[in-house]
Homo-oligomer: A and B are copies of this chain.
Amino acid sequence: MDGVTELAHGKVSKVIRRGDGFTWHGVPLEPYKPTTETYRNVTRRELVGKRGEGTAFHLRYFEVAPGGFTTYERHQHEHVVVPLRGRGVVLIGEARHEVGVGDVIYVAPDDPHQLGAPAGASEPFGFLCIVDAVRDRPVPVEGYGVCDICV
């Protein structure tokens, strides 16, 4: 299984090897969203859930470059975020949290939220994000939230 870069599809046990830095063999780098109007400098890697697995959840890795931020948005599905790299700023409702590796962030239904990396950061802010496989579409919230602070 090791050294094979094409990941198995379907319900097939596998080890997705971490590569250099925060990359994984067989997991392509993707844009965070199709359009870039509401976010800045965010990438996405789909780790589990988009290759025919049957889990009720999807596991993704996002990375926000210094000065970047995700869309300030809300939705009914919940977010669970676990930072793996660097430090970031999480805005949830009116609360602003500085977070680091190993913290666990739970975003409740319908709470507006945004994740960002301080402009002066020495490395990107990278985090796992786990969501229900069946979920509603996010709705952008007016304003840019945390980006006023961290960019």
Chain A contact patch, size range: 35 or more
- Most B Cβ at <10 Å: residue of A15, A16, A54, A109: A15
A12 to chain B: closest residue by CB: B108
Q: How many copies does the complex hold?
A: 2
CB < 8 Å: which of B2, B11, B15, B57 contacts A108?
A: B11
- A17 proximity list for chain B (CB < 8 A): 103
A130 within 8 A of B: yes
Residues of A within 8 A of B (CB): 1-2, 11-18, 22, 24, 47-48, 53-57, 59, 78, 80, 82, 84, 90, 92-93, 95, 97, 99-109, 111, 113, 128, 130, 132-134
19 A-B contacts (beta carbon < 8 Å): A1-B95, A2-B97, A11-B108, A12-B106, A13-B107, A14-B106, A15-B90, A15-B97, A16-B104, A18-B101, A18-B104, A24-B102, A24-B104, A48-B104, A48-B106, A53-B108, A55-B80, A56-B56, A56-B134
